Amino acid sequence: MDMAVAEFGRNISCLLTDAFSVFACEMAQNMHVKWVPFWVPAPYCLSAHIYTDIIHKTYANACGNGNGGVVGGLKPIDKTLDVTPGLSTMRFCDLSDEVLQGDSNSSLFSQTLYRMSKVLPQASAIVMNSFQEMNSTFITNDLKSKFQDVFSVGFLTLTLPPPPLPPSHSDTTGCLPWLDKQKPTTVAYISFGTVAAVPPNEFVALAEALEASGVPFLWSLRDNFKQILPNGFVQRTSLQGKIVPWAPQSHVLAHSAVGVYVTHCGYNSVFESIVGEVPMICRPILGDNMMNGRMVEAVWGIGVRVEGVVFTKNGMLKSLELVLRHEQGRRMGEKIKELKEVVVKAAGSNGIASKDFKTFVELISK
């Protein structure tokens, strides 16, 4: 930073960092400048971290009660988070171990997250990768009471309103030309991002369900995972589906042929699906995935989590049938269109994101 100051002749007045880079707080204090962390996951995930002590204590007390904490047939892990503002829809099982265990977890990652929950409120402001209009008033107001300023500037990975699809012939992956040949809202698009992966037995169950269902599918699957698939699967389903090592996801989800997105429920992926108006089948894997999946299914009603939150052949067949062929799936489609309208409007010049971004720029420019 000293080299940058010397080169450009301007003093640093603010550190804008990822929220997980908690060391930046002390750096900013030593430099006597503002620290503004950027929170990438959902606001409700931030709430869970801020209340990690209360959550840990409540969960530990519930587990310590007689009969293993089971009350009314519910295990502690299945109980709702009534102790935290705006999270009553969530359950303890939706939280990561790091949040549930608080400062009692000895791993370095857990210690970093716990320290983050204590340090973030010291920031000059926090910038949210979110539209305030999508969040509950309880969460919004509570977070504003915990920080000096909260700026919801919208999703940095979304282009809104969404641009038209590029010409199919320009897609070197072959996904769009293949989708052009399919009927509207019939294709299952499967992708678990670039980091997450399900266990091998679940890959097999998913593949078996796709083959048995006859549903056309486009699967973004890295080459090193193909060896896990059932013997002969690729050959037998060559007319039914297409497997690619990478897919232009936002373009795929915007294509009229796609009727369902089988996803790990990454935060950005969920909103790409909303903008594409594609209901989801959720198989959460790690981090914030479980909370996002709960929002998709229980709050917004735009998808369903796979039975038991693991892929089985029968469970996946039920989910595909539900979303693609049942009345409930049609209602999901209607709800996701309504949510898209909220998102597009929120991204407009009269949305809170536009105003918050201007205020944010003013803050860091002082």
Same domain, 125 and 175: no
The span from the CA of 336 to the CA of 357, in Å, is: 26
Same domain, 11 and 119: yes
Residue 64 forms part of a structural domain? yes
Residue 161 forms part of a structural domain? no
Apex 45 CA angle, 40 and 46, nearest 5: 75
Q: What is the pLDDT along the chain (366 residues), one digit of tens a residue?
A: 767 666 766 788 899 999 999 999 999 999 999 999 999 999 999 999 999 999 999 988 888 765 555 555 578 889 999 989 999 999 999 998 888 887 766 688 888 899 999 999 999 999 999 999 999 999 999 999 999 999 999 998 888 888 899 999 999 999 999 999 999 999 999 999 877 689 999 999 999 999 999 999 999 999 989 999 999 999 999 999 999 999 999 999 999 999 999 999 999 999 999 999 999 999 999 999 999 999 999 999 999 999 999 999 999 999 999 999 999 999 999 999 999 999 999 999 999 999 999 999 999 988
Question: How many domains does the chain fold into?
Answer: 2
At residue 100, the pLDDT reads 86
- Within the chain, where are the H helices? 2-8, 23-31, 43-50, 52-64, 97-101, 108-119, 137-146, 175-180, 200-213, 233-236, 249-253, 267-276, 289-294, 313-325, 327-346, 352-365
Same domain, 320 and 224: yes
Task: Please check whether residue 276 is in contact with residue 250, taking contact to mean a CB–CB distance below 8 angstroms.
Answer: yes
Locus of tokens 């707080």: 25
Q: Supply the CATH number for residue 129's domain.
A: 3.40.50.2000
At residue 70, the pLDDT reads 58
Same domain, 114 and 193: no
At residue 73, the pLDDT reads 55
Give the DSSP H or E segment for 347.
Answer: none
At residue 67, the pLDDT reads 53
Domain residues for 13?
2-154+348-365
Query: Which DSSP category does 71 fall into?
Result: B
Same domain, 136 and 236: no
User: What is the crossing angle of helices 43-50 and 108-119, to 10°?
Assistant: 100
Same domain, 359 and 335: no
The span from the CA of 357 to the CA of 223, in Å, is: 41
